[in-house]
Amino acid sequence: MTTPYRILERKRAGERLSVEEVRQVVKGATDGSWADAQLGAFLMAAAIRGLGPQETRVLTQAMLESGDLWELRNDIADLGDKHSTGGVGDKVSLVLSPILAACGRPVAMLTGRGLGHTGGTTDKLESIPGLDLALDRESCLRTVTETGMAIGMATTDVAPADRKLYSLRDVTATIDSLPLITASILSKKLATGAAGVAFDIKTGSGAFIPEPARAHELASMLVRTAEALGTPTTALVTDMSQPLGRWVGHAAEVKETLECLEGDGPADLMEITFALCREVGSLVGRPLGEGELEAAVASGRAREVFDRWAAAQGAESGWERVIDQALAPEEVVLTVPSAGYLSAVDTKEVGLLLAEAGGGRQRPTDTIDHQVSLRVLARLGDELVAGQELGRLYLRRNDDDLAARLLGCFHISDQPVEPPPLIRPV
């Protein structure tokens, strides 16, 4: 067996590690036989020197196998899944799952919490009183069987190696390494054992990977690695140059989800959702027919699925009224300072400012105010007049400085601009 010192020495020199050496690293992270300093050194060497396709695949598989494997497709052969790299106002998972379930395509997702400028799907759903997101294999399978969908958090027994390595990536400035991102995402996402997974890779000012070229590289790496491990996978690169949909804020995004399921969803959010629905359907061998998704919404079936699912996972009676009224009490109207065209949005800063106001998590231990929200009333490329309403901010208490900084995230040009494409082919 190669010693940790020798493995680190070889990786630091840019050499490719053997299958057994990569597995030794993951075993050391799982059982504690590698010190944090050694694991941090490996992560830094991997981030600087890179990991080849085989190293990435072996790292992913070893992290995946460090915990429980649910293999749900053994029970539900056409089970689909979807994952997003996250952004500001991204509530696609909440809209997609009941629509697919209403079309007879079952979905199960294990989601996470947000940190920094993004809101996690788990955080959004925790604004629903009583909803239980602690899923194990048995409860996940039961909920999918009963309602067609399940969304929850993974147990601590899913990919424990990733929890250790991710915490160290956060403090060693190795978060943006694409092979390490790939292994982290897939070690959790493939643990459920869905028949197919569609990835939504965000790019633009509000994405973790703002550069389109790197977003495409990550998309390709995820697909290549997942398929090498036996899971059919596809990916779309979608725009996060501005908040997705009309609302940002946890309870407000759940409310917007319900509007989408009732046929009143914003065009950008519905276009991405439908595109990913079609990807999932094709992956699991059950392509969606023309107009099938739209009919699931128009008929009310998608909203009915969401309601049945929420009840199955413990939501309190009357939770809809709580969500409908869940806006922080201090309303601030943001107005356009000068005429022109909305040319750019510092979307990451929008998310960070809402987190600063209490509507997000700056540290893992922070408590979220689910009612802090922003309604966005203009889109990139829109022609605006001075004094026009740009958005409405809902805070727990008045904060003129924060409102002014938030308004400064929206940039006005005197020349027309073309918004970036919403969906980029991979």
Which comes out higher in pLDDT, residue 160 or 117? 160
Tell me the mean pLDDT in the region 49-72: 97
CA 63 to chain centre: 20
Which comes out higher in pLDDT, residue 156 or 125? 125
* Residue-level pLDDT at 167: 87
Residue 169 falls in the annotated catalytic set = yes
Q: Which stretch of DSSP H or E encloses residue 247?
A: strand 247-248
Residue 113 has pLDDT above 90, yes or no: no
* Residue-level pLDDT at 315: 97
In this prediction, residue 330 has a pLDDT band, given cuts at 50, 70 and 90, of very high
* Residue-level pLDDT at 115: 66
The count of other CB atoms within 10 Å of the CB of residue 136 is: 14
pTM: 0.95
Residue 364 has pLDDT above 80, yes or no: no
Q: For residue range 152-204, what is the model confidence (pLDDT) as tens digits?
A: 987 788 999 999 998 899 789 898 899 999 999 999 999 999 999 999 999 99
- Measure the CA–CA gap between 192 and 175, rounded to whole angstroms: 24
Tell me the mean pLDDT in the region 347-362: 91
C-alpha to C-alpha distances, 252 to 20, 216, 248, 397, nearest whole angstrom? 48, 31, 7, 18
Catalytic residue among 68, 90, 162, 369: 162
3-state secondary structure of 347: helix
* Mean pLDDT for all residues in the chain: 95
Q: For residue range 263-289, what is the model confidence (pLDDT) as tens digits?
A: 999 999 999 999 999 999 999 999 999
Q: What number of H helices and E strands is found in the chain?
A: 17, 13
What amino acid is encoded at 329 in this protein? P
Catalytic residue among 11, 57, 83, 189: 83
Residue 188 falls in the annotated catalytic set = yes
**Percent of the chain, pLDDT > 70?**
99
Catalytic residue among 163, 188, 189, 348: 188
Residue 1 has pLDDT above 90, yes or no: no
In this prediction, residue 148 has a pLDDT band, given cuts at 50, 70 and 90, of very high
Edge-to-edge order in the sheet of strand 107-111: 149-153, 107-111, 80-84, 196-203, 233-239, 423-424
**DSSP conformation letters of 373-401:** EEEE---TT-EE-TT-EEEEEEESS--HH
Cβ proximity of 199 and 96 under 8 Å: no
Sort 279 into a burial class: Cβ within 10 Å, 0-12 / 13-18 / 19+. Answer: buried
Cβ proximity of 316 and 129 under 8 Å: yes
- DSSP collapsed to 3 states, 148-200: CEEEEECCCCCCHHHHHHHHHHHHCCCCCCHHHHHHHHHHHHHHHCCCEEEEE
- Measure the CA–CA gap between 412 and 372, rounded to whole angstroms: 25
Sequence-distant (≥ 6) Cβ neighbours of residue 94 within 8 angstroms:
121, 124, 125, 151, 253, 254, 257
Catalytic residue among 105, 124, 169, 348: 169
Edge-to-edge order in the sheet of strand 340-345: 383-384, 340-345, 410-413
> Which domains occur in the chain, in start order?
4-64 (1.20.970.10), 72-155+166-320 (3.40.1030.10), 327-413 (3.90.1170.30)
* Residue-level pLDDT at 367: 87
Residue 184 falls in the annotated catalytic set = yes
Residue 374 has pLDDT above 70, yes or no: yes
Q: For residue range 240-268, what is the model confidence (pLDDT) as tens digits?
A: 999 999 999 999 999 999 999 999 999 99
Which comes out higher in pLDDT, residue 364 or 265? 265
Tell me the mean pLDDT in the region 339-367: 90
